[in-house]
Amino acid sequence: MSLIAFDFDGTLSDSEMTVLLAERAGATDEVAEITERAMNDEIGYAESLYRRAELLAGLSAADAEDAFDAVRIRPGAARLIERLRDEGHHVAVLTGGFERGVEAALDREGVAVDTIVANRLPTDADGALTGEAEGPLIEGTKDDALADLAAEVGVPMTETVAVGDGANDLPMLEAAGLAVGFVPKSAVRPVCDSVVASMYRLGKVLEAHDVLAADE
């Protein structure tokens, strides 16, 4: 058994949750700028997430749910997750994004993963966003999350695969046995063992490394 850890926004999904939320909060440009700076490692991830969350303060429960319902996983992602789990691997999503969006996107495609480690946007008594953020992957890093999960499920780090695209994925990509960049940012590309631009190509990389049997 291997442990396959996916980043979500920009990797397993082509949606950016904070951007979808920002569109409904009237803060699209500000959030997009902060997101891009964080992905290129120009500002720390924790600072960027707290700043983006502040811009979402007051967004209604209905608008937040509408944003999460708009999150989609990439073509071929559901099939790849199913293949991995059918072959006995532990599939995880390790994301600085938000649990509700991950769950909504997976549910829509009728697919599940074994573990989701994600952040949350607290709400007030009326369900509106408070402008705060909380969760394990704000101050915490994905290498620690990957190591903790590997220990929990009994998989050596040499048998872990990490798939990501941005600066906050660097720690887990460096720690994993196999690091795959999904259209990675320039700061991320040097640490990747392979680079792909589709879920189909990712499947082929996993086949080449004997993680998956060849798909007939």
Residues assigned a catalytic role = 7, 9
Residue-wise burial string across 31-61, b where 16 or more C-beta atoms lie within 10 A, e elsewhere:
bbebbebbbebeeebbebbbbbbebbeebee
The tokens describing 125, both together, are 């008594």
Q: Give CA–CA dist 180/71, Å, rounded.
A: 23
Report the C-alpha gap between 139 and 118 in whole angstroms. Answer: 12
* Residues 16/35, Cβ–Cβ less than 8 Å: yes
Rg of the chain on CA atoms, in Å:
17
Tokens of 10: 């920009």
Element (H, E) at 6: strand 3-6
